[in-house]
Amino acid sequence: MPRADPATTFAARQAAGPLRQLDLRQLVERLPAIVYVADVGIEGRWRYVSPGVEAILGFTAAEMLQDVGLWARQVHPDDRARVFAREDDLIAPGAPEEYRMLHRDGSMVWVRDEAALVSDSDGQARWHGVISDISDRKRSEAKLEGRAEQQAAVARLGKRALEGAQVAELMDGALGEARRTLGVEAGAVFEHAVEAGPAIVRAQLGEIGAPPDATIAASPSSRWLPATLSGEPAGSLCCQIESASGRWGMLWLAGAPDRLFEAADVDFVQALANILADAIRQRATEQDIRHQALHDPLTGLPNRILFLDRLAHALSQARAKVAVALLDIDNFKLINDSFGHSAGDELLMQVAPRLRAALRPHDTIARLGGDEFVVLLQDVEDEHAAAAVARRIVAAFDTPFELHAGEHFAKVSLGVAISHGSDGTPTSLISDADAAMYQAKERGRARFEIFDGAMRARVVERLSVENDLRRAAQRGELELLYQPIVSLEERRLVSVEALVRWRHPTRGMLDPKAFIPVAEESGLIDPIGRWVLDSACEQAARWQAEHRDRPPLRISVNLSVQQFRQRDLETSITAALTRSGIAPSTLCIEITESVLLQESDGVRDTMTHLASRGVAFVLDDFGTGYSSLGYLTRLPISGLKIDRSFVEALGRKTRSTEITTAIVRMAQALSIEVIAEGVENELQVGELHDLGCRLGQGFHFHKPLPADGISALLGGETRPAAAG
């Protein structure tokens, strides 16, 4: 119906003459509302209804008037009781009431019904009312309420996340909030597969069917909402769960059949997804930190802390015996030194899988640090069983390692300790295994030893040696013997090597091998070494003063590798020289190749400084270590002592003889002096002489002698220097 402009109409009417009585009926019929007059009662007849009813409920005015029960039937079933109460009790007449009605097409209409009971001209009380459509207002109210609910839901989930709820719990929580707030029937939290493949369902609500395909996972947008891309509401939605470290997965929801999502709903779901993303990232960080605290970063194996924990646990509940196998890669330092640290790391990384393959799945392998690994063997029946495992571990190192630098054979020394009842603590078991490993190394490496009573006794003895040794120097129990080094040709005394002895109060005279290793391990080597150095230099000064008529007697002093770790080694040596007053050129320091193996700037500088002042350096026991010729040219080394084992083999056609020959030739080429150690017979002297070796030391000439023995030798010596 074409609508006239009210202003024009009014103006026209005014112009037409005096204002006519307004035609109220016409006015009422143009109202966008239902104006009605109806009898009281649910089945009350509608006496009048304005045509506005058709726009609001879809029924014509005539239909409403004819069909007596029509209005009552169209009241929304859920609101009937409340609305009809008005008819039954005539309560609150005149109070506006809001309720839902059904449109002819089945859709829902919110109405506001303002009615009053009015006594008509026939004396009957009837409803005179106006029903207006408030659906729009109700909808925006609901929307506001919905947003508030969504905000509350986000806050609730966020609070649970802050309180440290498990990630799985939060996922269920997010789906629960979505169901409550959006009315969805189905939904899921999917984790993207690491490799291409279907996503993994981590939490689920209702029936979800197959996980969304890869196109969703790969969607470039953080949201995936096909229908809303064109601005239309959609029936399902999907938000990415992602953080700085990447896209973890997604939160997917499907609406009830009549539920369509809008852009604001996407914001809500994305907020839920973001809470999940934060929680996942944070829990992952926590796990990382925990993992890092308990694992070795290089090999990924458990570290000492975790190992001790597992060992303690195993000991506390073991019904059977528990064994600890400690292993150390033989000469690992050499790999680092020769091929670089990355080669060392490469090797360490390959050790773990080898051990794994030699063990049962539930045995724990840990890296204690450096090249030291430890294995926890649970439920070991007896020593035989432990030995079998140890043998397998040693055998696992039979094949070479493939390093970038090339193939490399690395062997291990293994110490095994087995728990006995409840007496073992984690640390005591490890230290027993350590003692056994030490023994394995001493007995030639690439083998295993099982800790036993005898070893315990040795450990105890070692401790008591250490205790006694602490006081040995102060109590004057240390002594020096001196072994002559002679020229092979004239048998002239060229120098003497100072060799330490310990006159133990109860155990008698002890050789260095009985206490030097203990001194080295306990750090006592520093004061002992200083005492040796001072005493030897003083003694040399006395001999030099007493025998001015011969070239000054040189003195050799042995220095352990540990002494090179001292910062003030150079100072100690300088002090010994100054105090005694001997010329630096009459002091010779004997070092083993182990010193050079840890060649560092410090070692090099110390040696270079001292050498520049005339102090000589000689490589002891040459041929038993790694004899890299590199250091002979790099470092100021003036001589080498061929180890006794090579000298012993002289005269027999052996490989050792060939090596000795090669050593002497090479030393000659480098102008390095060669001294033969452990010369025991004339045959060896002849061979050495033929090889061109000029100096020798050994029982054949002299055993190590006390100082006055050397004095006697010096006194009785013919005077070759004066003669020559």
3-class SS string, 485-521: EEECCCCCEEEEEEEEEEEECCCEEECHHHHHHHHHH
Q: Which residues pair with 241 in a beta bridge?
A: 249
Alpha-carbon span 44 to 449, nearest angstrom: 107
Q: Which of 424, 698, 710, 714 binds ligand C2E (CB under 6 A)?
A: 698
- Among Mg ion, ligand C2E, none, partner that 483 touches (CB below 5 to 8 angstroms by kind): ligand C2E
Q: Is 581 left (phi over 0), alpha (psi -120 to 50) or beta?
A: left
Residues numbered 639 to 668 that lie near ligand C2E (CB under 6 A) are 644
Instruction: Please tell me whether residue 590 binds Mg ion under the rule CB under 5 A.
Output: yes
Q: Which is nearer to ligand C2E, 449 or 621 (CB)?
A: 621
Choose the one of Mg ion, ligand C2E, none that binds residue 181, judging by a C-beta under 5 to 8 angstroms depending on kind.
none
Does the protein bind Mg ion through residue 177 (CB under 5 A)?
no
Residue nearer to Mg ion on the CB measure, 558 or 560: 558
- Choose one: 88-96, 175-183, 284-292, 692-700; the region binding ligand C2E (CB under 6 A): 692-700
Window of 135-143, 181-189, 394-402, 588-596 that interacts with Mg ion by CB under 5 A: 588-596
Between 343 and 559, CB nearer to Mg ion: 559
Q: Are 49 and 34 in contact (CB under 8 A)?
A: yes
**Is 648 an interacting residue with respect to Mg ion (CB under 5 A)?**
no
Q: How far is the CB of 558 from ligand C2E (least distance, A)?
A: 4
**Residue holding tokens 């036993």?**
452
Closest approach, Cβ 556 to Mg ion, in A, equals 7
- 484 near ligand C2E, judged by CB under 6 A: no
Cβ–Cβ < 8 Å for 430, 417: yes
Residue 339: CB minimum distance to Mg ion, A? 28
Distance from C-alpha of 604 to C-alpha of 602, rounded to nearest angstrom: 5
Furthest C-alpha separation in the chain: 167
Q: Is 511 in the site for ligand C2E (CB under 6 A)?
A: yes
Cα–Cα distances in angstroms (integers) from residue 635 to residues 243, 596, 626, in the given order: 56, 9, 16
Minimum CB separation of residue 452 from ligand C2E in Å reads: 28
Nearer CB in complex with ligand C2E: 346/590: 590
- Give yes or no for residue 621 binding Mg ion (CB under 5 A): yes
Question: Is 620 among the residues that bind Mg ion (CB under 5 A)?
Answer: yes
| Contact between 442 and ligand C2E per CB under 6 A | no
Q: Does 704 bind ligand C2E (CB under 6 A)?
A: yes
Binds ligand C2E by CB under 6 A, chosen from 516, 596, 616, 649: 516
Q: Does the protein bind ligand C2E through residue 539 (CB under 6 A)?
A: no
Q: Would you give the distance in Å from CA 712 to the centre of its chain?
A: 67
Name the minimum Å distance from CB 499 to ligand C2E. Answer: 4
Q: Is 32 in the site for ligand C2E (CB under 6 A)?
A: no
Sign of CA dihedral 645, 651, 652, 656: positive
In degrees, to the nearest 5, what angle opens at C-alpha 154 toward C-alphas 153 and 157? 85
Give the tokens for residue 422.
Answer: 């409840």
Q: Which of 560, 566, 586, 684 is close enough to bind ligand C2E by CB under 6 A?
A: 560
CA dist list (Å): 29 to 24, 38, 108, 403, 426: 8, 16, 23, 98, 97
Select the binding partner of residue 678 from Mg ion, ligand C2E, none (C-beta < 5 to 8 A, by kind). ligand C2E
Helix (H, G, I), strand (E, B) or coil at 448: strand
- Smallest distance, Å, CB 612 to ligand C2E? 24
Which residue(s) pair with 223 in the sheet? 239
Name the token pair of 517. 């290793």
Q: Which is nearer to ligand C2E, 363 or 590 (CB)?
A: 590
Q: C-alpha distances in angstroms, 425 versus 302, 367, 421?
A: 19, 19, 10
d(CA 322, CA 429): 9
The answer to whether residue 678 forms part of the interface with ligand C2E (CB under 6 A) is yes
Nearest to 627 by CA among 334, 398, 270: 334
CB 60 within 8 A of CB 50: no
Pairing of strands 46-49, 34-39: antiparallel
**What is the smallest separation between the CB atom of 511 and ligand C2E, expressed in angstroms?**
4
**Which amino acid appears at position 264 of this protein?**
A
Taking the complex as a whole, how short is the minimal distance between the CB of residue 383 and ligand C2E, in angstroms?
34
Please identify which residue in 418, 499, 663, 695 interacts with ligand C2E, judged by CB under 6 A.
499
Task: Tell me whether residue 324 or residue 649 sits nearer to ligand C2E (CB atom).
Answer: 649
Shortest spacing between CB 512 and ligand C2E, in angstroms: 3
Q: Which does 499 bind (CB under 5 to 8 A by kind): Mg ion, ligand C2E, none?
A: ligand C2E
User: What one-character-per-residue DSSP string does 23-47 give?
Assistant: -HHHHHHHSSSEEEEEESSTTPPEE
294 touches 310 (CB < 8 A): no
Stretches 51-59, 144-152, 326-334, 511-519: which one binds ligand C2E (CB under 6 A)? 511-519
In angstroms, the CA 252 to CA 243 distance is: 17
Tell which positions 610-639 bind ligand C2E, by CB under 6 A.
620-621
Which residues from 675-714 bind Mg ion, rule CB under 5 A?
Answer: 677
Which CB atom, from 405 or from 659, has the smaller least distance to ligand C2E?
Answer: 659
Nearer of residues 235 and 709 to ligand C2E, judged by Cβ = 709
Report the residue from 364, 558, 580, 684 that binds Mg ion according to the rule CB under 5 A: 558
Q: Which is nearer to ligand C2E, 511 or 690 (CB)?
A: 511
435: its two tokens: 């003692």
Q: How far is the CB of 721 from Mg ion (least distance, A)?
A: 25
Is residue 593 near Mg ion by the rule CB under 5 A?
no
Which among Mg ion, ligand C2E, none contacts residue 410 (Cβ within 5 to 8 A by kind)? none
Q: Report how many residues bind ligand C2E under the rule CB under 6 A.
A: 25
**Distance in Å, CB of 493 to Mg ion, minimum:** 17
Q: Applying CB under 6 A, which part among 390-398, 400-408, 565-573, 675-683 lies near ligand C2E?
A: 675-683
Specify the residue, 50 or 558, whose C-beta has the smaller distance to Mg ion: 558
Q: Which of 104, 392, 409, 699 binds ligand C2E (CB under 6 A)?
A: 699
- Which residue stretch of 328-336, 422-430, 438-446, 508-516 sits at the interface with ligand C2E (rule: CB under 6 A)? 508-516
Token pair 């990630």 in the structure block, residue: 167
Of ligand C2E, Mg ion, none, which one sits near residue 698, judging by CB under 5 to 8 A according to partner kind?
Answer: ligand C2E
Label residue 159 exposed, middle or buried (CB < 10 Å: 0-12, 13-18, 19+): exposed
Q: According to CB under 6 A, which residues from 262 to 321 bind ligand C2E? A: none
Contacting ligand C2E (CB under 6 A), which of 432, 590, 593, 687? 590
Burial class of 273 by CB neighbour count within 10 A (0 to 12, 13 to 18, 19+): buried
Cα 132–chain centre separation: 69
Q: Look at residue 178 and give the partner it binds from Mg ion, ligand C2E, none, a contact being a CB closer than 5 to 8 Å depending on partner kind.
A: none
Whole-angstrom distance, CA of residue 451 vs CA of residue 383: 10
Long-range contacts of 542-551 (CB under 8 A, 24+ apart): 543/710, 543/711, 543/714, 544/582, 544/586, 546/711, 546/714, 547/714, 547/715, 549/719, 549/721, 549/722, 550/714, 550/717, 550/719, 550/721, 550/722, 551/721
- Among the listed residues 239, 315, 532, 688, the single contact to ligand C2E using CB under 6 A: 532
Could you tell me the two tokens for 383?
């020593």
Chain residues that interact with ligand C2E, rule: CB under 6 A: 483, 498-500, 511-513, 516, 529, 532, 558-560, 590, 620-621, 644, 677-680, 697-699, 704
Chain residues that interact with Mg ion, rule: CB under 5 A: 558, 590, 620-621, 677
